[in-house]
Structure 1
Amino acid sequence: MAGLLALLGIANDPGRADRLLIVALCDAALALIALLVPWDRLHPNAPALAGLGGFGVLGLSTWSFGGIAAGTGPFLVLLYAWAALHFPRWLLAAYALPATLAYVVPLIITGQSPMVIGSAFILMPAALAIAFLIEAQARGLREDRARLARIEQWRTAMINTLAHDVRAPLSTVRVVLEELRESSTGQHARMLDAGLRQTARIARLADSLLDVHRIDSSGELKLDRAHHPAHALVKDALSYVRDDADVRADVDEDVTLYVDRQRFEQILLNLITNALRYGAPPVIVRVVRAGAYHRLEVRDHGPGIPETLRPRLFGQFAAEGAQGVGLGLWIVRQFAAAHGGEAAAEAREPGVAMVVTFPVPES
């Protein structure tokens, strides 16, 4: 940019065309060198040497314009701002001497008045103060980014550990329960069936943890979609709900959904869990056709959703606290989007209906 401005200056001041051309060539040479040097192989502070070259060209520019420093000051501040984004504070302080010389020496050579030369005592401290402010903000952002990277690394390790380490012992438990179920009858058989259903649910929860990680890291989620009777899907999902919960299903037996069975079940269970936890019974589950979509509705009869929570309802950690970590509705929204649908909350009197849509496939 400085080189282009020097070329434009030739049209404004043809008498100094040769000097301005030299300045433009020096700027271009400095830019080319800075572009070609493999800085990533050198010390992290090595690019600061390019700043020294920049100060030298600025001094040459001031001399070329006959001691007019109107264009030098802004570029000095710009160089300091660039340095503040990348280098430590001590290096910014070390820049003070070459920056001052680049500003003052051309003024002295061209015979400027003491008042003009004295402007360095205002410009240099101001440029250094701006640089220190930018450096402090940039350093804080770098530290925050490093801390977030460590948290993300820990979270990824925790999710992978939970998901994988839960599966191995759970497989053993399931095999034992299946063996016992084959030789059991009556009350014992019903208890073992309940245990098998819950172990299957825990396994699905482990898979969901991995899904959360995949969605968060890559934004992609693979689905295993097929046509399933909606009535059977809802009935199977409700088998995991505690017996004393007031949950009712209103689903026509002729409705067929084109969904990933496991993800649909997770959506429904998350919505029912939220309705029982934050709402009030009865909880009504409905599946209806609405144009090009099927609508899954889970309605409770509680106090509804607080206005302060509505904007972030389907976000991560929206309602974390003693009752949960706030990932349930976020997972619901991600699974709905993966199916090509949406998740939304609709007000009811009383309560609220959580609605998830699923596209109806073409014939």
Structure 2
Amino acid sequence: MPGRRLVLGEGPEHAARQLAMMCALLAVLSLAESLLSPDGRRWALPAVGAVSAGLAAVAWWSPWPRYGPRAPLVLCVPLLGVLCACAWAFAGYGVGTAPFLMLLAAWAGLHYTARTALALGPFLLLVYLPPRIAVGQTPVMLASAALFVCMSAGVGVLIARQVAYHRRAREEVRRMERWRAALTATLAHDVRSPLTSVQFAVECLADGEDDLPPARREAIAATALRQVNRIRRLAAGLLDADRVDAGGLRLDLETVDVRSLAEEIAGYLNAPVAVEVPEGLTVRADPERLEQILVNLATNSIRHGAPPIVISARRQGRAVSVCVRDHGSGVPEDKREMLFSRFSSADTSPDSVGLGLWITQELARAHGGAVSYAPADPGSRFTVTLPGDGPVPAERADERAAR
């Protein structure tokens, strides 16, 4: 097994060691064939073997990770030179020149891109065809040789495409494993805490019966409801994340009055939120999803920022920008780059799994918009840009006011 780990794998070190094995095989075959070749050709084979052995040593023991992932490709130049000399000395027949050319193309496809394997094709032709032309082989044999080289390059391209496919599939599996591990951690940690609070509240209400004062009973019930809402938000975030991954997020678009929606949201948040949105400003959006966007941003500002929290909006050409600003310390620079990533470490509140800002970004994109962060000096400013809509008709505005 240790020997396999030295040769099999990915990265420049493994690529170089596989090429070293190829060079070592070429050296052994050259020395073996030198015993059977005619006297006039024996001088070339030991030289080919010696150079191949030297290349094998360089390829095996050089510190390739220091030089970059594509550094082993440099070894193709001397190896092609050795194969070219061998082909000239033996008119393409000596020590299995053709199999080594195919092995080299397969090696390039195994460790590098399809373009690399394809770019190697002309060099293989330069190694394989001129010696055959020089000895006057028939056009049919030359065409067969050219076809063989093209097939070798094609094998390299096919291997490169297949390897790339498997790498993408493996990365997808790893991503899903990370998602599953994060989900398990969420269920084990973030859901357990509110469930404990709900259990405590229910036990207090069950044991207290009529002895509890009404105010105390209401406080316990309110605590239980807050924790239930917390679990509901966690579940909604996880479900939305799953829908985004599966491409099953659907929007019911309609004209939404931004001021009415912002005032409704400010009315049920657990902190004072000011609304500075002009009358009649509308967007084309899914009302529930837009509410989720603003609630996510507002609760994020409440958790991590400082009052006053302000929801404002303005028209920018044919789009509408909705801003949620707080007056806290802002987001540290080292966390801004990953702010909207899934399971962002910038969101460290106890009832969050780091999905809120990521879901907000995905919902904005689903609407054809975007979300961004900017320091507000002091505080943070999150801006959602969505497609605008015409002004709300008077009768529709009266209906919403009545509701």
Q: Which amino acid aligns with 2:298?
A: I
- Listed one character per residue, the Cα deviations across residues 217-246 of structure 1 (whole Å, up to 9, x for unaligned) are 34563212222322332233224311xx23
Name the Cα RMSD after superposition: 4.9
Amino acid at match of 1:121: A
Asked if residue 212 in structure 1 is aligned to residue 237 in structure 2, the reply is no
Q: Does 1:319 align with 2:345?
A: yes
1:59-208 superposed matches below 5 A: 98-107=25-34, 109=37, 110-112=41-43, 114=46, 116-128=48-60, 145=171, 148-154=175-181, 203=232, 206-208=235-237
- Quote the residue 1:259 is aligned against: 285
Matched AA of 1:118: A
Aligned-pair distance for 1:85?
5.1
- Letter of the structure 1 residue corresponding to residue 57 of structure 2: P
User: In structure 2, the residue corresponding to 1:276 is in which secondary structure?
Assistant: helix
Partner of 2:382, secondary structure, is: strand
Provide the rounded CA distance (Å) in 1 between the counterparts of 2:289 and 2:29. 66
**Structure-1 residue corresponding to 2:75:** none
In the alignment, structure 2 segments of 5+ residues that lack a partner are 1-5, 66-71, 73-106, 113-166, 195-214, 392-403
Deviations 1:106-160 (A, max 9, x none): 455321265554334323334455799899x99xx99x85655533445578889
Identical columns (%)? 30
Q: Which residue, 358, 361, 365 being the options, matches 1:337?
A: 365
CA contact (8 A) 1:336 1:356 kept: yes
**SS of equivalent to 1:268:** helix
SS of 1:267's equivalent?
helix
- Return the TM-score normalized by structure 2: 0.49
Report the AA paired with residue 339 of structure 1.
Answer: H
Q: Which residue of 1 aligns with 2:383?
A: 355
Matched letter for residue 281 of structure 1: P
Q: Provide closer, same or farther for how the CA distance between residues 270 and 223 of structure 1 changes in structure 2, counting only shifts above 3 A.
A: same
Question: Distance in 2 between the 1:341 and 1:349 partners?
Answer: 25
What is the CA-CA distance between 1:283 and the residue it aligns to? Answer: 0.5
Q: CA deviation at 1:362?
A: 6.7
Aligned to 2:268, the other structure's residue is in SS state coil
Cα distance in 2 for partners of 1:160, 1:250 equals 38
Q: Is the 8 A contact 1:159 1:213 kept in 2?
A: no
Alpha-carbon shift at residue 359 of structure 1 (Å): 0.4
Matched, 1:309 2:343: no
C-alpha distance in 1, partners of 2:220/2:259?
Answer: 24
1:240 aligns with 2:268: yes
Report deviation, 1:281. Answer: 0.5
**Which residue of structure 2 aligns with residue 55 of structure 1?**
none
- Partner residue in 1 for 2:276: 250
Pair 1:346-2:384 in alignment: no
Give the CA deviation at 1:214.
2.6
- The residue number in structure 1 matching 2:300 is 274
CA–CA distance in structure 2, aligned partners of residues 127 and 222 of structure 1: 55
Q: Would you say the 8 A contact 1:297–1:354 is kept in 2? A: yes
Total equivalences in the alignment: 256
Find the aligned partners of 1:271 and 1:301 in 2 and give their Cα distance: 14
Residue identity in the other structure for 1:294: V
- Alignment deviations for residues 252-307 of structure 1 (CA, whole Å, 9 cap, x no partner): 34333321122111111111122122221110112332221122111111223333
2:255 is equivalent to residue 227 of structure 1: yes
Q: Distance in 2 between matches of 1:152 and 1:131?
A: 35
Question: What amino acid sits opposite 2:241 in the alignment?
Answer: V
Contact 1:250–1:287 (CA under 8 A) maintained in structure 2: yes
Unpaired runs of at least 5, structure 1: 1-79, 167-186
Aligned partners of 1:226, 1:310: CA distance in 2, in Å? 33
**How does 1:18-33 map onto structure 2 within 5 Å?**
none
Does the CA-based 8 Å contact 2:282-2:388 persist in structure 1? Answer: no
